[in-house]
Homo-oligomer: A and B are copies of this chain.
Amino acid sequence: MQNISKEDYLSAIYKYRETDGTIKANRIADKLSISNAAVTDMLKKLANDGFVDYKRYKGIRLTKNGEEYAKNMVRRHRIWEVFLHQIVGMPWDKVHEEAHNLEHGASDELINKMEEMLDFPEFDPHGDPIPDKNGLLPKQRHTIPLSLAAKGEAVEVVRVNDFDNSFLKYLSGIGIKLNKKLTIKNVLGFDKSMIISIDNKEVNISSTIAANVFVHRKN
């Protein structure tokens, strides 16, 4: 397509649509930090390109083509993130921005080559799933927010919300990364903050932090 704007719109629609597949223009505008008028404008173009179904004042949803395109963009983004993290050694709080600036430029050939180098990773550095070359996603894992784990439970970190870099940096600062095992030592009734054991050290994390870390139960 060779059009950064359109690609960003498609990615955003895919990423932020509701479970029924629809999305409000409002939300797109929000996520892209752009006016509603601009969104209306672009929706007409995307509809014209056959990427979205759109009737004025009615709902918005990706067509089959649009979903395919968007999913490929997500794939490109996440493979970049893994590559930057694993191969280049970039910390997980910096890969998103860098990947975002590279995802439009790389050829599919390069993306596929990187994927191969990485041995076909299924998840990005934040635990988000990577669609394969055919658009297939790895089978979904059942996770719970760390904030729902109870005193005494042993869990493994499986995914973290990736929309705030300082949050990610904080996490790695206290030793939390993907696949890390934690034990919940205590949950304070006062503010629902948790004392967790990680690498044999104990740290206290707020309930807000805990709500943005997703885990598997291990016992």
Contacts and interface: CB of A to CB of B under 8 A. Distances in A.
B101 A88 contact: no
A96 to B, nearest CB: 12
A160 to B, nearest CB: 22
A90 interface: yes
Nearest to A107: B98
A101 B101 CA distance: 11
Interface stretch (A54-62, A110-118, A121-129): A110-118
Interface of A: 84, 87-90, 94, 98, 101-102, 104-107, 109-110, 113-114, 117
Given A88-B110, A102-B105, 5 more contacts: A88-B113, A89-B113, A90-B110, A98-B106, A101-B105
- How many protomers of this protein does the assembly include? 2
Contacts of A90: 110, 113
A173 to B, nearest CB: 19
Contacts of A114: 88
B117 A88 contact: yes
Contacts of A87: 87
Contacts of A98: 106-107, 110
A84 B88 CA distance: 13
12 contacts: A84-B110, A87-B87, A88-B114, A88-B117, A89-B113, A90-B110, A90-B113, A98-B107, A101-B105, A101-B107, A102-B105, A102-B106
